[in-house]
Amino acid sequence: MVRARELPLAEAPLLHSTVERLAARAGILKPKLYLIPDGMPLTLATGRGPTSSAVAVSSGCVAACPPAELEGVLAHEIAHVKHRDIAVQTATVVLAASMIEATRIGGWLQRTLLFVAGPVAAACTHLLLSPKREFEADRTAAELCESPHGLADALVRLDQAAELVSFEASPATEPLWPFNPFLEQGLAALFVTHPPIDERIRRLRELDATEQAA
């Protein structure tokens, strides 16, 4: 769905090393690593769970994010793997995207079918996926990185990039990404499952303040 290709170890040894280190800290098998050919800084995780998973990172993320930020977003995806979010997440997105794609037959009937299928697919997505999973993945990522600031800084960068870089994909894929890369209008507004990014950043910064106070 996102045109990712598996990334050989020889092509990105440092990236593989980072994923392996984070996976070891999380107590899971190292996920396969994929590259998404897109300028938008994005990552995602998919698969069946801690023993069989894959993490994908976009070329834009590799190019734009400093090491600490890249580690933060990769840790966020590995946290989803550790928490077993990805099996439900992947199945939900495939189901919702399939419903949307099934409406693409052209003409006035396409708009009618989309009017019906879009809200149904979105309702299924919200029924199965809770925004709380993002807060929990953020907290675990901060633990894996031993600092919340890499991920917090990355979320700021990704949010700013969304305003500058165009991104085209099925809006049903929104739960896969580390933040919502779509403009919240039209069909895309129905599928928003991420909590507000400002709230996520605030909670991450507070983790450091809490540790210092302790």
- Over range 34-42, report the average pLDDT: 92
pLDDT at 163: 78
| Catalytic residue chosen out of the listed positions 77, 134, 136, 206 | 77
SS3 content of the chain, % helix, strand, coil (to 5): 65, 10, 30
- Establish if 103 belongs to a structural domain: no
Is 108 a domain residue? no
CATH at residue 28: 3.30.2010.10
Query: 77 an active-site residue?
Result: yes
| pLDDT tier at 101, thresholds 50, 70, 90 | confident
Buried b (16+ CB within 10 A) or exposed e, 82-118: beebbeebbebbeebbebbeebeeeeeeeeebbeebb
Provide the pLDDT for residue 186: 61
Does residue 170 form part of some domain?
Answer: yes
pLDDT the model gives residue 99: 74
Q: What is the pLDDT of residues 131-169, one digit of tens each?
A: 888 999 999 999 999 999 999 999 999 988 877 777 777
pLDDT band at 170 (very low <50, low <70, confident <90, very high): confident
Does the residue 112 lie in any domain? no
Q: Does 189 fall in a domain?
A: yes
Residue 96 banded pLDDT, cuts 50, 70, 90: confident
Region 186-203: mean pLDDT is 81
* For range 190-208, the mean pLDDT: 88
Average pLDDT across the chain, whole number = 85
pLDDT attached to residue 136? 94
pLDDT attached to residue 184: 64
Render 64-110 in DSSP notation, one character per residue. HS-HHHHHHHHHHHHHHHHTTHHHHHHHHHHHHHHHHHTT-S-HHHH
How many domains, in total, are found in the chain? 1
% of residues, the chain, pLDDT over 70: 81
b/e code 29-65 from CB counts within 10 Å (16+ = b): ebbebbbbebbbbbbbbbbeebeebbbbbbebbbebb
Structural domain includes residue 99: no
Residue 111 belongs to some domain of the structure: no
Residue 98 lies in a domain: no
What integer pLDDT is reported at residue 177 of this predicted model? 85
State the residue range of the domain holding 60: 5-90+125-213
pLDDT of residue 77: 96
Do 4 and 36 touch, CB atoms closer than 8 A?
yes
| Cα 177 to Cα 197: distance, rounded to the nearest angstrom | 12
